Structure 1
Amino acid sequence: MTAVTEEILLERIRSGRLIESPEQATERYIEGLKRTLIVSADTELISAPAYMNATKDFSTLPSVNNYITVMGIVQDELGHAHIAYRMLRDLGVDTEELVYEREPRKFKYPYAFDVPLESFTELVVANGFYDRAGFVLLSDIHRNCSYGPWKRALVKVDREENFHLRHGEKWMKVFARDPEKKEELQRAVDWMFVLTLEWFGLPDSLKRHNEQIEYGYKGSTNDQLRQTWMSHTVPLCESLGLKVPAHYDEELGEYVIDCPFPAQFDEEEKRWLFEEGQISWDDVLERWKKRGPKNEEYVAHIQRGYKELYAGGRG
């Protein structure tokens, strides 16, 4: 079999033909695809304990039906994680080792999930913000992905992520009509909005892995995806009378962030230290690398059963 060269690979992608197996791609393509899939898989996986954490205090739930809905969302997220990890297994990755034997700080999900969701109000904002971010990212991959197996698998994921974000937006609208709940809603928006802006990663000028666009894993850059997210989220919040540090600039034809960004974050108080001014992305990368307050707990929650089963080692 003739080895695939970069020239052959890029010509295949430019012509619109999908990559269906590793044999049709170069090693660089496959390695970049693995990195992208790991971030997607880890994000879906860790959202399960993050969302479950918000339901520990039943007094914050309007009814038992809300708990059932949240558990349905958790089940969906685990299913989405399974899809991405299955793709990785097909690419030769030892997914048991990846999921159950990795150190907590080595997981690649957005830092936002390491900050605990502690009420139903915070959960619905997470559905409205975080799941919207996931929907924006995965919809872009679904439309543009050059890797056929993932492109087809995302049909199901795309629809279910849309349900999750609609659940969040619905309850944000309900709570915005109640003055007391609206205050609680605003407090959640205050810290979660900027965390979700971070979700899309480094600005394009600092992006390290440019093969995501070159190889067609996705079609939009980080900054373009951030704009897409704001184009949905800012109007939603404005329609509910919620304040967010961003607005649409008619002259520029894009959304502008109105606070220091990136900024220092007090993860214990769930508060942005905007008064300290803008920080560097190196500072943000350092925070991401250290992970947040719930990282070890959530990963332990996922790995516990496996470690109990294989306490004597894998045989």
Structure 2
Amino acid sequence: MTATPSALQSEEALLNRIRKQQLVESVEHMSPLYLEGMKRILTVSADTELISSPAYYHAAVHAPSLNAFGSAISIIQDELGHAHIAYRLMRDLGVDTEKLIFEREPRQFKYPYAFDVPLESWVELVVANAFYDRAGYTLLGDVYQSTTFGPWKRALVKVDKEETFHLRHGEQWMRRLNKDRSGHEALQQAVDWMFLLTVEWFGLPDDMKKHTEQLEYGFKGHSNDELRQIWMSTAVPLCNELELRIPAHYDPERQKYVLDCPFPAHFDASAKHWLLEDGPCTWDDVMKRWKARGPKNEEFVGMIQRGKKEMLRLLEQEA
């Protein structure tokens, strides 16, 4: 059931609880703004974990061995479990998750644009593990350390460990594939389009961020730009180790990682190609691309919703 306004805390009572470093344990501890903000961040987290499953399966079928396929399926199983955790928490906050998952239009799902671009080989899958799961680990690790919502903090103990396995799986396979020339070239082709997609994964720059309550309420501890830097601090050294060309380097004078190319930039999803020669675009252009979704949005959401729809059709036929 949806919490009524009278069941919620005042803003002052909530902030007093947070100042005392007491975790928020239920709807009754939340203010209306906190509740809506928590629903928002949990929706993004849940949708991201959920849609990664068909996205990864699309490439897992190209695994080079049965053992490799088994590892990929294990990762997919983990992702579905992570999605279940987030949706379960949302049910406790009064969200109708059945409707949320099975009745939303594909474009209404809130997950990173990168998952709408198909992974079409084993190489692309392991780069996704090394890049995308590293992004997930960066984001959820920050939530785990900082969140004031107790049930999510405790649930992320399991998620944090499993995301570590996913990104290590990607790293190990990248190192294995990088041992010969053909593998190195295949990795480079994947990195060419996937690196910048992960850089933009962390969202709008700090000066354009709209939902500031994520930091104010302690939903997370770092800003978008700070999280982008944390991700680059391990992703860039990995690529340098493997001698993979990326448009980024560490600037010791500025003490931060900087990009060596126009950013944000236009992206041709069908060709998996960044139009860097056209120069930078605006974040408004990026937002339009994100909202329009990518080439696999309808297919991947359809895979998630198909079973429920088929069951309802069978029930109607029997009625």
Same fold by TM (over 0.5)? yes
Tell me if the contact between 2:8 and 2:32 (Cα under 8 Å) persists in the aligned partners.
Answer: no
| Shift in alpha-carbon separation, 1:3–1:99, aligned structure 2, 3 A | closer
Aligned counterpart in structure 1 of residue 55 of structure 2, from 30, 42, 50? 50
Aligned counterpart in structure 2 of residue 16 of structure 1, from 18, 21, 36? 21
Aligned partner of 1:306 in structure 2 is 308
Aligned partner of 2:39 in structure 1 is 34
Aligned counterpart in structure 2 of residue 143 of structure 1, from 135, 142, 145? 145
Aligned counterpart in structure 2 of residue 118 of structure 1, from 117, 120, 126? 120
Aligned counterpart in structure 2 of residue 191 of structure 1, from 190, 193, 196? 193
**Cα deviation code 1:220-253 (max 9, x no counterpart):** 0000000000000000100110011110000001
CA distance in 2, matches of 1:15, 1:178: 56
Matches within 5 A, 1:1-315: 4-56=9-61, 58=62, 61-311=63-313
The normalised TM-score by structure 2 is: 0.95
RMSD over equivalenced CA pairs, Å = 1.3
DSSP 3-state at the match of 1:11: helix
DSSP 3-state at the match of 1:54: helix
**Cα deviation code 1:87-145 (max 9, x no counterpart):** 00110000000001100000000000000000000000000000000000000000000
Alignment-mate amino acid for residue 77 of structure 1: E
Alignment-mate amino acid for residue 236 of structure 2: V
DSSP 3-state at the match of 2:299: helix
Alignment-mate amino acid for residue 125 of structure 1: V
**Cα deviation code 1:163-192 (max 9, x no counterpart):** 000000001111111111100100000000
Equivalenced residue count is 311
DSSP 3-state at the match of 1:36: helix
How far did 1:257 drift?
Answer: 1.0
Alignment-mate amino acid for residue 17 of structure 1: Q
CA distance in 1, matches of 2:85, 2:273: 35
Tell me if the contact between 2:60 and 2:73 (Cα under 8 Å) persists in the aligned partners.
Answer: no
DSSP 3-state at the match of 1:67: helix
The runs of 4+ residues in structure 1 deviating greater than 4 Å are none
How far did 1:15 drift?
Answer: 2.0
How far did 1:214 drift?
Answer: 0.4
DSSP 3-state at the match of 1:255: strand
CA distance in 1, matches of 2:153, 2:138: 15
| Shift in alpha-carbon separation, 1:2–1:304, aligned structure 2, 3 A | closer
| Shift in alpha-carbon separation, 1:96–1:241, aligned structure 2, 3 A | same
Alignment-mate amino acid for residue 11 of structure 2: E
CA distance in 1, matches of 2:204, 2:225: 8
Which consecutive residues of structure 2, in runs of 5 or more, have no partner in the other structure?
Answer: 1-5
The normalised TM-score by structure 1 is: 0.97
How far did 1:2 drift?
Answer: 8.5
How far did 1:41 drift?
Answer: 0.1
